[in-house]
Amino acid sequence: MPFFRNFPITNYRFGEENASALFQDLTTYIDIIDQIANDGSFYETTFIQDGVRPDVLSYELYQTANLYWTFFLLNHTLRYQGWPMSSAEVYDYAKVYYPNTVIRSDATMHGEFYIGDIVADRVNFDEFGTLFKGRILEKSY
């Protein structure tokens, strides 16, 4: 493919093969993207409104829905956590996966809790739990 023609060639062993083959080093692409992502001059900060899909935001910003993938490519948080849920989706998700469980906060908690963290009540330290689900739900009001 023409896109990969300038990528360096490396020895690569496919599957259980004993012999290696010369192949384009596709990981070079990730390094280039991360270098671009770390350069703040490429960014324009935008707030993802409740319920807006990636293709819709792409159209609003670039007048084409075809560039939605750039959000995930350049934004580390979106790459690992996915697109934010709408308020209705968060409510439905929480009802199914966290019945009778509530974390209430007026502060932004994004990135504050990680799998395996122990969380406790500020008043009663005898009440605590361990986070076991990898997705923290968040909504800014």
Q: Which among 43, 62, 77 is the end of a domain? A: 43
Task: Find residue 130's DSSP bridge partners.
Answer: 118
Distance of CA 113 to the CA centre of its chain: 15
Domain that holds residue 117: 103-136
| 107: DSSP letter | S
Summarised one tens digit per residue, pLDDT across range 49-62 is 999 999 999 999 99
| Segments in the chain below pLDDT 50 | 134-136, 139-141
Could you please report the per-residue DSSP string of 20-82?
A: -EEEE-THHHHHHHHHHHT-GGG-------TT--HHHHHHHHHS-GGGTHHHHHH-HHHHHH-
Instruction: Look at residue 7 and give its three-state secondary structure.
Output: coil
- Establish if 66 belongs to a structural domain: yes
Residue 141 located in a structural domain: no
